[in-house]
Amino acid sequence: MMQNIVDFGPIRFIRGLKNGRYPFCNSIFIKPAGVLIDPSSDRKLLKEMKADVTSVWLSHWHEDHIMHLDLFEDKTLCMHELDAPPIESLDTFIDWYGAEIHNEPLLKTRWEELLVKEFHYQPRKIQQFLSDGQRINFDGLTVEVIHTPGHSPGHLSFFFVEPEILFVGDYDLTPFGPWYGDRHSDIDQIIQSVQRLREFPAKCLLTSHEFGIIETPSPKVWDDYLKVIDEREAKLLTFLEKPRTIEEIGAAWIVYGKPKEPIDEFILMEQISMKKHAERLIRRGTVTVVDSRYVIA
């Protein structure tokens, strides 16, 4: 059985329930500073350590990273400025997942109920913004803030300099590959951010989901993760041998592989993801749109 808590000197890794799979994520605790990163691992454990927490840092705005933020309503909340709007407004939170949700009353109501009941969503003001290149020293531990946009506009990673540990957040290096299924995610930014992260001299990687701890990461781990983007794009080009609407493209389940429940939510994320691929191909001149259908140019 994997350990729920693993200490790397001043850095504590707290494994999320279900091995950190959605709707949970792994948390990081910076012991000398009392800083908790992404409070969505294990509510029982987080409640027990509440007295030791002085501030909460969010890697980004997604619901699986704020599930137990309500336990720390009296703590200083920090994140990148670009991801603050959905944390401060439930209406904005839902809108950032896509206009289709926002404009569909029944789906919007379901998301509101889910966020409040299951993810304990409460609007919060961000007290401090973290910015790229910022270096913070906590009793001999230096933390470098890395702005790694793409998965979200303000996604942050953190390099713990002295122990040479890199927290990569939702660039989790799983076989599923990168996720870009909401309104503001960006494939090209993801590629740039991952390429930047792989250049850090890290002896160990900590991820938000699944693997959690990757010791002595090899170049292949990074290559395989980004290769998924090319594989999805290749499948889309094959599928576009005939003109296709975005609805037809979504029904091919190129990203998720098969239908998943709740179907209306997953088909929306599938369509958003594949529309981003189609738009990349349009910018390259490989694909065009004719009568609301994507076709090979």
Q: Are 60 and 156 in contact (CB under 8 A)?
A: yes
First to last CA, the chain: 52
pLDDT at position 2: 60
pLDDT at position 99: 75
- pTM of this structure: 0.96
* Helical ranges in the chain per DSSP H: 43-48, 84-88, 90-95, 99-102, 105-117, 187-197, 219-239, 246-250, 263-283
pLDDT tens-digit profile of 35-81?
Answer: 999 999 999 999 999 999 999 999 999 999 999 999 999 999 999 99
φ, ψ of residue 100 to 5 degrees: the values are -60, -40
pLDDT tens-digit profile of 217-245?
Answer: 999 999 999 999 999 999 999 999 999 99
List of the chain residues with pLDDT < 70: 1-2
Domains and CATH numbers, the chain: 5-217 (3.60.15.10), 231-296 (no CATH)
If you count them, how many residues does the chain have? 297
3-class DSSP assignment, residue 163: coil
Compute the distance between CA of residue 172 and CA of residue 143 in angstroms, rounded to an integer.
20
